[in-house]
Amino acid sequence: MTMLKTSTKTLLAGAVALALLHGGAVNAQTVKVLSIVDHPALDAIRDGVRAELKSAGYDADKNLKWEYQSAQGNTGTAAQIARKFVGDQPSAIVAIATPAAQAVVASTKTVPVVYSGVTDPVAAQLVKGWQASGTNVTGVSDKLPLDKQVALIKRVVPKAKTVGMVYNPGEANSVVVVKELKTLLAKEGMTLREAAAPRTVDIGSAAKSLVGKVDVIYTNTDNNVVSAYEALVKVANESKVPLVAADTDSVKRGAIAALGINYGDLGVQTGKIVVRILKGEKPGAIPSETSDKLELFVNTSAAEKQGVTLSQDLIKEAKQVIKQ
């Protein structure tokens, strides 16, 4: 009997050692990440989540099983990936951007879901309110104070009366922004003219439809628009229509200015919630969060191409000034 016990212990010890040798499979946590599309802001969220997990001791080379997939802008693909992820029963699913989060939340009521980069999780029907949901869902919103966005538009184009906006009407966060922006602009004696771009291939033509009708084009964090931003920049440069964004990475790609969130930091903030869940907290006990860390980026070269002279005060306030 003693020899049998010793043999069993030896076998168990060997199995544990073998598992650790092959990537720490013992008690490994599984995190799956779904993004609606690949673009700099959403990629920064993904990388921020992974960096925070590693910082907390969850390493893909040791005790973490990590899988990332992009739906390439297709909501049908997002739904398929979401169902596959849920079927794998991971420790948590991170859903980046509104359509991805909606797909995952529609697929499970039990697997922990942490959304990120969602402007309005309530309007998107991910949670009923900003407080702890009591469900399997929590996350971090990238909702921006729109009054500050209007103030930036006025600083870039002081005489602007009509603001154009290219957006995907099928994206819940953009619909919310349009509605709120109309109200805010009206208070400033300004109006909003919309141009729908339900697909990325529609962005150029939507932007062209605004030429001659608006004084400036504003872009929120609409994923269709951001993923093909160069098409919008081309129209803005050719027609000398100033372009103001909500996403600071868009300034590097040709917008004149943006007052936005650092999406890498948003990813880290999201990662902290994932870590809490991996350590045993229930997602339904964690309230949804936002970020109040805004950064101003300006692009003086874009301003010149689009016929705008930026004030020195605005340039001095910028965290980053792009000159190309």
CA geometry: angle 84, 173, 253, nearest 5 deg: 95
Model confidence over 212-255: pLDDT tens digits? 999 999 999 898 899 999 999 999 999 999 999 999 999 999 99
Cross-strand pairs, 191? 162
Model confidence over 170-228: pLDDT tens digits? 988 899 999 999 999 999 999 999 999 999 999 999 999 999 999 999 999 898 899 99
pLDDT over 70 at 14, yes or no: no
Report the pLDDT value the prediction gives residue 48, as an integer from 0 to 100: 97
Distance CA 228, CA 39 (A): 9
- The tokens for 35 are 């993004």
Q: What is the mean pLDDT of the chain?
A: 91
Report the pLDDT value the prediction gives residue 293, as an integer from 0 to 100: 85
CB 168 within 8 A of CB 178: no
Q: Between these two residues, 14 and 171, which has the higher pLDDT value? A: 171
pLDDT confidence of 6, banded at 50, 70, 90? very low
CB 195 within 8 A of CB 174: no
pLDDT over 60 at 7, yes or no: no
Residue 59: other Cβ atoms inside 10 A:
15
